[in-house]
């Protein structure tokens, strides 16, 4: 595989904060993406990190450490509709856009 690792499942309650971690292989790194995917649907774009640091976008934030090959997605003020699979994807190699996905983290938000 492409050595992208993220937890398989997570649960949280409405209104809470959850952090989904992702580690990846650093060679040939071009950027790190997070997508949300509901069952049977296509992934939808959440964030893109290429530089170290935190990118905040509303309730969702994403962090990247290039040297550590580490990223996390932070979801605040969780809502029931946030129950989905969250995919970490690494853009690697000489051709931009070739994404290598992790298995996805299935997040369940309870009332």
Partner 1 sequence: GAVVSQHPSRVICKSGTSVKIECRSLDFQATTMFWYRQFPKKSLMLMATSNEGSKATYEQGVEKDKFLINHASLTLSTLTVTSAHPEDSSFYICSADPGQGADTQYFGPGTRLTVL
Please say whether the dihedral angle defined by the alpha carbons of residues 47, 48, 52 and 56, taken in this order, is positive or negative.
negative
Rule CB under 8 A: say whether 69 interacts with partner 1. no
Site track for partner 1 across 79-98, x = CB under 8 A: --------x-x-----x-xx
DSSP secondary structure letters along 35-54: EEE-TTS--EEEEEE-SSEE
Rule CB under 8 A: say whether 103 interacts with partner 1. yes
Q: Which of 17, 13, 15 is nearest to 111 (CA)?
A: 13
Q: Provide the minimum distance between the beta carbon of 61 and partner 1 in the complex, in angstroms, as a whole number.
A: 16
Among 99, 105, 107, 109, binds partner 1 (CB under 8 A): 99
Q: Provide the minimum distance between the beta carbon of 15 and partner 1 in the complex, in angstroms, as a whole number.
A: 28
Among 21, 30, 48, 74, binds partner 1 (CB under 8 A): 48
> Both tokens of residue 30?
């071009």
Whole-angstrom Cα distance, residue 60 to residue 6?
A: 17
């Amino acid at each position: 595989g492409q050595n992208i690792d993220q937890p398989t499942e997570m649960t949280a309650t409405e209104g809470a904060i959850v952090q989904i971690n992702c580690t990846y292989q650093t060679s040939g790194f071009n950027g790190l993406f997070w997508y949300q995917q509901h069952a049977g649907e296509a992934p939808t774009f959440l964030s893109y990190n290429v530089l170290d640091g935190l990118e905040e976008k509303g309730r969702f934030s994403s962090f990247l450490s290039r040297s550590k090959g580490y990223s996390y997605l932070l979801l605040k003020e969780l809502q029931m509709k946030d129950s989905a699979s969250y995919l970490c994807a690494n853009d690697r190699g000489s051709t931009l856009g070739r994404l290598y996905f992790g298995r996805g983290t299935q997040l369940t938000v309870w009332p």
